[in-house]
Structure 1
Amino acid sequence: MSLWLSAIGASRGVAIGPVHRMHGTDLDIPEYHLDDPAIETEIARFQQAAHEARAQLAAVREQIPSNAPAEIGAFIETHLLMMDDTALIDTVTARIREDRINAEWALKLQSEELIDVFEQMNDGYLRTRRDDIAHVTARLQRVLLNQEHPIGTGTADQNSDPPVIVADELTPADIILLHQQGIAAIVTEHGGPLSHSAILARSLRLPALMGATGVRRLLVDEEIVVIDGEAGHLLAAPDAAALDFYHHRQQRDARYQRMLAVLRDEPAVSADGVHIAMLANVELPDDSIEAGRVGAEGVGLYRTEFLFMNRKDTPSEEEQLAVYRQVLASTDGPVTIRTLDAGADKSIGLSDKVAPNPALGLRAIRLCLKETGLFRSQLRALLRASAEGRMRIMLPMISTVGEMRQARHLINEAAAELAAEGLAYDRDLPIGAMIEVPAAALAAPTLARYCDFFSLGTNDLIQYTLAIDRIDDEINYLYDPLHPAVLTLIRMTIDAGQAAGISVSMCGEMASDKRYTALLLGLGLTEFSMHPASVLEVKRAVMGADVARLRRRVAEILSLTDAATYREALDGLTREQQI
């Protein structure tokens, strides 16, 4: 008998395959005492396991897809740092020696103690770090138990259909390893569409369902299931008619992707003749090549923080200059380079101090204005590179006019130094602000006087506006791009930019989602920057849009005062963008 389940569609696509259930952090841990002669051997076994687990993560870091957002790399970096933390590794070694117990048991006890400490913290951000402890110790446990390959070595042989992985939860590192083994889809009991794992699944074009409570109990290994990542459905034991229907869906999706590829060299011009700039978000110099393959007109966001991460020193001016030159040389269109956005979950090792609330602490432009030596080195490299291509400098997390003025003063000082040294730079280099703090959106008319452009970072803007952590499973249902306050701030920023005669782009996840394309066009947005994987899909939505009509319609919707009518009208607008 067929079984139909509903969950959260975290990554679109249809997959058909046999179930393989995984247990994630839910492992059967052996507990036994050791004789004295066995203690040092056990310690050596644990330390070797820690070395292997770290090597796994280091390899995963190198295989993060180019279109994956920065948070994925930061997530892996956090786990690598935990692998080196004495509070975990050295303390487990001491437990083995002092309590004369096996490594798995000692690791379990230490993990439980650390998780308990984080659980009792008042700060919500730090409480979420308990999940990182659980993920890191689960990886160590799998190595100790010889279960380091999540689906084993023989589950998916060359003659078998790719399996559908069903688990309680999966980390981004798990997903990358599983993807290498050729899985068809993932289904997890926990998680949501804004989790790191969901974002990564979308980057990998891997169909995914999340929040499927009890699914491991309801399914059995090897039974055939259908996953519909767009509708959020799982169908177990499908009959012939259902299989035929979903096979046709897969064929239709393949045709759709081929159709999108034809749009690569077409201009992104709406049905009523409005040109919309289609830009790409990239992290590494080679990523801009992928952006070119999908017809992106330039780079709307180049993240620089990974030049600074996972190293004991900071990159020199010359090292940075070489990278920025490479990005400019590999891109035909303009390149917007964001200055260092470190802090929160992207540590660069400047301090061992743990901030009470890193997401609201010393990060991004605040850090750069405090560590001016670090900032000056980057500014000099950026200015020198600007002589060799079309570049814009974007400053992250601006919240006050004072920050913008201070940053521009430092840029001017760096420019004066280069001029005195006889080094070339673009004397008309555009300097802009990333609008991701509600205060910046509210002050946009004033802030625009000191900016040459704005870029809306909706990921942070939404979560700061609604006071929620978008990757916290307990509350991420509150993360709502269509909330009236969010749309008001977006509209205010676009209107302020237009009034000041400066361009406004959007580089957050919202720009990558075709469901919101009509809405954003209606709000007046004319520059979209997104993962390269989303460029063609959003371009198609742009080409079918009547921008003038959308602007009138969106203005009417935003004027509605009845909450139910407002939501119904917006939902209707987003539904029009579905395939």
Structure 2
Amino acid sequence: MSQMDLTYSHVFKNSSQLEGHDTSFGLVSLGELYINAIGTHPSALDDSNATKDKLVSLLESAYKANTDRPFRVMLNDQSALALKQMQGADSEPEEANPAMGLRGVSRYASKAGKPGFIFECEVLKKAIQDKKLPVEVVVPFVRTSSEAATMIDLLAEQGLCRGANGLKVLLACQLPANAVLAEALLAYFDGIIIDVDNLAAFTLAVDFGDEALPYTFNKHNEAVKSLIRDTIRKTQLADKPVQILAQESDKAIIELAEGANVELIYTQTT
């Protein structure tokens, strides 16, 4: 892929984005889409089937906006703190540090998180089976190789078997451990999406939303860029797709992606 061939897309997280006719979606954030479009915790839904249908309809609309690219949907990566903002979220646990608590695989396998995970899988199955959408599943917050294996098993238990009918499962690289273990993790996944915001936050132990912290902490830090470059190299050596998820203001990261001929997905803080 030459630099002239580089493509750019956006994260779909709100139905209002469908109003932009020229918007191309490279990733669906199912957790954020659920919070924005539904707003009621899965455990408190009056009609879960109607909710599933609404989400599937939104997925179908997002896919129709760009049928010429892979349709990648990331499972819920939200913390318990974010989920507690929804109506009926009494079942969410109290955590001392939600950002580093039950998220991703550890959440899906937990008593608190498994019902929501099953709900999301049912939404994806309806999108695949009823609407024939070519969904590729993106898994967030995989902390270890053992969790990667667990995740593939959890998906299979819900009828989403990696490789069956061409189903692809990708890793969201959000943690330094993901970059360091990329070679081992790629045995379980069909590609990687590098989530710069989360990767930088966990690499530098910084909450970028905290205005009290010095401005010198930023995502352009060499440690962050080194992890991004290393992940790109390992993924490309494995001959698997790699994308970078970043904000349009992250100019240094964008230059890095362009220099490596890696597709960019733009996101915005919400």
* TM-score where L is the length of structure 1: 0.40
- Alpha-carbon deviation of 1:339? 0.8
Given residue 175 of structure 2, which amino acid in structure 1 is its aligned partner?
V
Over 3 Å counting, the alpha-carbon distance change for 1:448 and 1:293 in structure 2 is same
- Alpha-carbon deviation of 1:432? 0.9
Q: CA-to-partner distance for each residue in 1:103-122, whole Å, 9 max, x for gaps?
A: xxxxxxxxxxxxxxxxxxxx
State the aligned residue count.
Answer: 250
> Do the aligned residues in 2 keep the contact of 1:299 with 1:336 (CA within 8 Å)?
yes
Over 3 Å counting, the alpha-carbon distance change for 1:359 and 1:304 in structure 2 is closer
Given residue 457 of structure 1, which amino acid in structure 2 is its aligned partner?
D
> Do the aligned residues in 1 keep the contact of 2:220 with 2:253 (CA within 8 Å)?
no
Higher normalized helix content (fraction of residues): 1
> Do the aligned residues in 2 keep the contact of 1:401 with 1:447 (CA within 8 Å)?
yes
- Alpha-carbon deviation of 1:494? 0.7
> Partners of 2:49 and 2:108 in 1: how far apart?
15
SS at match of 2:72: strand
2:182 is the counterpart of 1:453: no
> Do the aligned residues in 2 keep the contact of 1:468 with 1:476 (CA within 8 Å)?
no
> Partners of 2:193 and 2:227 in 1: how far apart?
13
Given residue 520 of structure 1, which amino acid in structure 2 is its aligned partner?
A
2:120 is the counterpart of 1:378: yes
- Alpha-carbon deviation of 1:305? 3.7
Q: CA-to-partner distance for each residue in 1:122-181, whole Å, 9 max, x for gaps?
A: xxxxxxxxxxxxxxxxxxxxxxxxxxxxxxxxxxxxxxxxxxxxxxxxxxxxxxxxxxxx
2:134 is the counterpart of 1:390: yes
Given residue 77 of structure 2, which amino acid in structure 1 is its aligned partner?
D
- Alpha-carbon deviation of 1:476? 4.3
2:94 is the counterpart of 1:354: yes
**Partner residue, 2:245:** 507
SS at match of 2:159: helix
**Partner residue, 1:311:** 40
2:145 is the counterpart of 1:401: yes
Rg comparison, structure with higher value? 1
Instruction: Show structure 1 runs of 5+ residues with no match.
Output: 1-267, 418-424, 533-579
Given residue 281 of structure 1, which amino acid in structure 2 is its aligned partner?
V
> Partners of 1:318 and 1:367 in 2: how far apart?
24
> Do the aligned residues in 1 keep the contact of 2:172 with 2:194 (CA within 8 Å)?
yes
2:193 is the counterpart of 1:466: no
Q: CA-to-partner distance for each residue in 1:482-525, whole Å, 9 max, x for gaps?
A: 2221111101111111111111111232x553454222222x25
SS at match of 2:59: helix
Aligned residues: CA RMSD: 2.8
Q: CA-to-partner distance for each residue in 1:240-299, whole Å, 9 max, x for gaps?
A: xxxxxxxxxxxxxxxxxxxxxxxxxxxx963xx4x2221211212442442x414x3x33
2:226 is the counterpart of 1:488: yes
Over 3 Å counting, the alpha-carbon distance change for 1:485 and 1:457 in structure 2 is same
> Partners of 1:350 and 1:301 in 2: how far apart?
26
**Partner residue, 1:151:** none
2:149 is the counterpart of 1:413: no
- Alpha-carbon deviation of 1:373? 2.9
> Partners of 2:55 and 2:12 in 1: how far apart?
13
Q: CA-to-partner distance for each residue in 1:214-250, whole Å, 9 max, x for gaps?
A: xxxxxxxxxxxxxxxxxxxxxxxxxxxxxxxxxxxxx
Q: CA-to-partner distance for each residue in 1:544-570, whole Å, 9 max, x for gaps?
A: xxxxxxxxxxxxxxxxxxxxxxxxxxx
2:104 is the counterpart of 1:364: yes
> Partners of 2:158 and 2:230 in 1: how far apart?
33
Aligned pairs for 1:164-175 within 5 A: none
> Do the aligned residues in 1 keep the contact of 2:257 with 2:263 (CA within 8 Å)?
no
Instruction: Show structure 2 runs of 5+ residues with no match.
Output: none
Aligned pairs for 1:562-573 within 5 A: none
> Partners of 2:92 and 2:27 in 1: how far apart?
33
Aligned pairs for 1:98-137 within 5 A: none
Over 3 Å counting, the alpha-carbon distance change for 1:416 and 1:482 in structure 2 is closer
2:76 is the counterpart of 1:326: no
> Partners of 1:288 and 1:426 in 2: how far apart?
31
**Partner residue, 1:277:** 7
RCO higher in structure (CA 8 A, sep ≥6) = 2
Over 3 Å counting, the alpha-carbon distance change for 1:409 and 1:399 in structure 2 is same
Given residue 358 of structure 1, which amino acid in structure 2 is its aligned partner?
P
> Partners of 2:212 and 2:251 in 1: how far apart?
26
* TM-score where L is the length of structure 2: 0.81
- Alpha-carbon deviation of 1:531? 4.1
- Alpha-carbon deviation of 1:444? 0.5
- Alpha-carbon deviation of 1:431? 0.8
> Partners of 1:531 and 1:416 in 2: how far apart?
27
> Partners of 1:515 and 1:441 in 2: how far apart?
19
Over 3 Å counting, the alpha-carbon distance change for 1:352 and 1:327 in structure 2 is closer
> Partners of 2:59 and 2:92 in 1: how far apart?
32
SS at match of 1:529: strand
2:40 is the counterpart of 1:302: no
> Do the aligned residues in 1 keep the contact of 2:144 with 2:177 (CA within 8 Å)?
yes
1:519 to 235, 243, 256: 256
> Partners of 2:144 and 2:172 in 1: how far apart?
12
Aligned pairs for 1:130-145 within 5 A: none
**Partner residue, 1:118:** none
> Do the aligned residues in 2 keep the contact of 1:364 with 1:396 (CA within 8 Å)?
yes
- Alpha-carbon deviation of 1:350? 5.0
Q: Using the aligned pairs only, state the percent identity.
A: 20
Over 3 Å counting, the alpha-carbon distance change for 1:289 and 1:500 in structure 2 is farther
Over 3 Å counting, the alpha-carbon distance change for 1:506 and 1:320 in structure 2 is farther
> Partners of 2:33 and 2:254 in 1: how far apart?
30
**Partner residue, 2:78:** 342
Q: CA-to-partner distance for each residue in 1:13-61, whole Å, 9 max, x for gaps?
A: xxxxxxxxxxxxxxxxxxxxxxxxxxxxxxxxxxxxxxxxxxxxxxxxx
> Do the aligned residues in 2 keep the contact of 1:463 with 1:479 (CA within 8 Å)?
no
> Do the aligned residues in 2 keep the contact of 1:301 with 1:507 (CA within 8 Å)?
no
- Alpha-carbon deviation of 1:407? 1.5
SS at match of 1:398: coil
